[in-house]
Amino acid sequence: MPHTSEWKVRLHLFEDDEGTTKARLVLDTGTTELTGRGAAHCHPADTDVPEIGDELAAGRALNDLARQLLKTAEHDIEVVGAPRPSSRKAAGWAT
């Protein structure tokens, strides 16, 4: 049974007054919306390179979103009554 869907992702990056780069990543599946968040702080001794702060904050927001997606998938697996083998650590393909 073929299945196709399109999810929309919006990434918002901004810097606050203290120099912290923040990222908010919104995933809209059409039925659910999840928000991942990340932040990066430039050490005072380091050269200020805004792109690095953006990359770190966005990467951390992606990690946050990934954890939420895996938790949601695990919950959905339990809801449909699929048996949970004791060796499975996370939903999906083995890593």
pLDDT, tens only, 53-76: 999 999 999 999 999 999 999 999
Q: Rounded to two decimals, what is the model's pTM?
A: 0.80
In this predicted structure, what is the pLDDT of residue 91?
60
What class, spelled out in words, does domain 8-79 have in CATH?
A: alpha beta
Q: Measuring CA to CA, which residue among 9, 5, 1, 65 is closest to residue 37?
A: 65
DSSP state of 17: T
What token pair was written down for 76? 């959905």
Lay out the sheet containing 8-15: strands in order across.
Answer: 8-15, 20-28, 33-41
Residue 22 pLDDT exceeds 60 = yes
Question: What residue segments make up the domains of the chain, in order of their start?
Answer: 8-79
